[in-house]
Amino acid sequence: MPDFKKYKPYSIRLKDYDYSEPGDYFVTICTDDRKCIFGVIVDGNMILNNLGKIIEEEILKTMEIRKELDVDIFSIMPNHLHLIISLSDVYYDPVETNGRSSLQYGENKFCMKPKSVSSFVAGFKSAATKRINILRETPKQLVFQDGYHEHIIRNQQSYDEIYIYIQSNPQTWGRDRNNPKNL
């Protein structure tokens, strides 16, 4: 078996693409070990539990805090969430975040590019994890997988297809690849 610690982590990010560029992005964030902790699907509807409600509140709070970002649509599922986020080129003061996603190397330290997809994900995951762990009384417990998946939406047809996918995700849970019954 290869020693993966010897190799640089593989990135699915598009090489040389600036993820702070204005545009639309499809983002998927999964829970640690894909544990179903945000609620249940009943008759094609997602019923959020207290942890799922925290996720919803943090998504809504994101739009208040990050003026350069709009969440066009989102769907919280039992063990993951999907969002379409739109980054604009409107200048606002950067929001400082700490996290492990898409760090860049700056002058003698790692830094995250402000107003980017990665800074949004890191800030969101950090805030949601903190609140969830306070509620569960589980300090430093992982809530999310380290990474996330993103897709640059390049045209209206793609945007429309992804929008419908996110909107109908609870109704298709039975055949969702993130459903533990399908793993």
CA dist., res. 125 & res. 123, Å (int):
6
Domain limits for position 132: 22-171
Residue 14 falls inside a structural domain: no
pTM greater than 0.75 (yes/no): yes
Residue 94 falls inside a structural domain: yes
Q: Could you identify the residue written with the tokens 């649509």?
A: 73
Residue 160 falls inside a structural domain: yes
| pLDDT digit string, tens, across residues 1-43 | 444 444 444 445 556 655 667 889 999 999 999 999 999 999 9
Under DSSP, the state recorded for 153 is: E
CA dist., res. 119 & res. 61, Å (int):
15
β pairing state of 104-106 and 109-111:
antiparallel
Residue 132 falls inside a structural domain: yes
12: nearest Cα among 35, 34, 28, 36: 28
Across residues 164-169, what is the average pLDDT?
A: 97
Residue 179 falls inside a structural domain: no
> What CATH number corresponds to the domain at position 41?
3.30.70.1290
Residue 61 falls inside a structural domain: yes
- Contact assessment for residue 56 and residue 94, using Cβ atoms and an 8 Å cutoff: no
Strand order in the sheet with 80-87: 69-76, 80-87, 23-30, 149-153
State how many domains the chain has.
Answer: 1
In this prediction, residue 59 carries a pLDDT of: 95
Residue 29 falls inside a structural domain: yes
